[in-house]
Amino acid sequence: MNSQNGKESTGQEQNVAPPVHMLGLSTFAFAASFALWTIFSIIGIRIQRDLGLSESEFGLLISTPILSGAISRLFLGIASDRFGGRIVTTLTMLVSAGSVWLLAWAHTFPQFLVAGLGIGLAGGTFASGIAFLSRWYAPERHGSAFGLFGIGNVGAAITNFGAPFMLVAIGWQGTAQVYAVGVALTAVLYFLLTADDPETRRRRQTGERGTTLHAQLAPLRKIRVWRFSLYYFLFFGGFVALASWLPRYYIAVYGFDIGTAGMLTAVFSFSAAIFRALGGHLSDLLGARTVLYWSFWACMGCLLLLSYPPTTYIIDGIEGTIQFSLRMHVGMFVILTLILGFFMSLGMAAVYKHIPSYFPSSVGSVGGLVGMIGGLGGFFLPVLFGIINDVTNIWTTAFMVLFTVVSICLLWMHIVVIRIAQRFDQDPAHIE
């Protein structure tokens, strides 16, 4: 179909900007949205102090935007398939910008939670952006296009790096208002400088109705969709969870102030965002499953090392006891999280390369579900980290949890690959 390849079929459409123009603007808008989506990871610390929130209330506060952003991805993806990703992205950004602006007038904990639900919608723009771009690019270029779009995850690094300085300079209320104005302006520019995708324009011209809701939801019955969702739960959910949780880890374990902790967390967030474009390109070049294998094994190795808690050994020697300790130096910790973020970014891109290949007419709904499950990982994992920390009193249990998840993902994928190879009498190494 010409519309899927971004080729124009009418004279009016000949004037539409090329797909690379749409990709650049979509990525910029998504980066602004993602920066807003993670704002509570920084300003939430001051809000907790001002309101005198307990640890459980603080956890609920920072998790509320993640939850609404995750759940909204499914519905925004479905809406984008029916009405076009451009209008859905614009409206979602404006609503989330208005919600963060209202934070300055919130006084009670419930009011902050309601505002957090609106702010969370910013995280749902990933689903509408993917649906929008899938109609501009041919299938063989989806991996690269989606990978470049995923660089918008760098918004988390922008918040981790920049928000602490704004917090000190103008307070959390001023920081929230700066974010609100920035996201609103970005939404307006995005709408004015982009155009509806070719499929949406064709439907508008012919009067054709979009895909029915039943048809959009039909692929969700397939186990493959839920397997992809588990992969994204690990890669994206783990990324969001660590981006929110690492500042506290650095403060508690290494004794850093919030500014230093934010900058060190930005190292992880940046690596888990900027290299997503490379993951998309490699998925187009070598196949998404190959990139997933690399990502699973590398993440498993990093998480195994990060999981090892500080330990003191006492050995009965020949002439008395020998005592020594093993603990990870902060420099090695930063390097390992950098490597972990790098391979998480490759994995995120590889997962979304799969979706249009298997479900070309349901990218919005399937991509929305996968994104929703990934976002729910960003909501539930920090809660699980805290619960296990309380039970074990060991900080590194968070990495133990992620190690367990990556092991399950790798085992499940490999079993599927072996079964496909046996069914078609092929070498598993050549299965894609």
State pLDDT tens for residues 121-149.
Answer: 998 898 888 888 888 887 777 777 887 88
User: In this structure, which amino acid lies at residue 85?
Assistant: G
For residue 299, what pLDDT band results from cuts at 50, 70 and 90? very high
Write the single-letter amino acid at 260: T
Tens digit of each residue's pLDDT (9 = 90 or more) over 334-384? 999 999 999 998 998 899 888 877 777 666 678 777 878 888 888 888 878
Closest to 237 measured CA to CA, from 367, 116, 93, 66:
66
What is the spatial distance between Cα 337 and Cα 332, in angstroms, rounded to a whole number?
Answer: 9
> Does 12 score more than 60 pLDDT?
no
Token pair for 363: 């990218």
CB 251 within 8 A of CB 257: yes
In angstroms, the CA 383 to CA 288 distance is: 31
**CB distance 364 to 131 below 8 Å:** yes
Per mean pLDDT, which of 9-23, 40-54, 162-176 is the most reliable? 162-176
CA distance 344 to 276: 8
pLDDT of res. 391: 84
Asked if 96 and 121 count as a contact pair (C-beta separation under 8 A), the reply is yes
Alpha-carbon gap, residue 403 to 134, rounded angstroms: 32
Amino acid 188: pLDDT: 96
- Note the CATH architecture for domain 14-311+324-430: Up-down Bundle (1.20)
Using an 8 Å Cβ cutoff, are 355 and 366 in contact? Answer: yes
Count of alpha carbons within 13 Å of 202, Cβ hemisphere only?
Answer: 14
Question: What residues does each domain of the chain span?
Answer: 14-311+324-430
Could you tell me the CA-to-CA distances from 158 to 19, 241, 265, 268, 412 in Å, in that order? 26, 16, 10, 12, 35
To which residue do tokens 């190690």 refer? Answer: 403
Helical ranges in 194-287 per DSSP H = 198-206, 213-217, 223-232, 238-254, 258-274, 276-286
> How far is the C-alpha of 40 from the C-alpha of 199, rounded, in Å?
37
Please, which pLDDT band fits residue 8 given cuts at 50, 70 and 90? very low
pLDDT digits (tens, 9 = 90+) for 181-216: 999 999 999 999 998 888 888 877 776 665 665 666
Which residue's entry shows tokens 């690094």?
157
Tokens coding 56: 């459980």
Q: Which of 106, 183, 142 is nearest to 6 (CA)?
A: 142
Give the count of beta carbons closer than 10 Å to the beta carbon of residue 425.
6
In order, the DSSP letters of 10-28 are STGGGGSPPHHHHHHHHHH
pLDDT higher than threshold 60 for residue 176: yes
Task: Write the CA distances from 315 to 125, 321, 322, integer angstroms.
Answer: 56, 5, 5
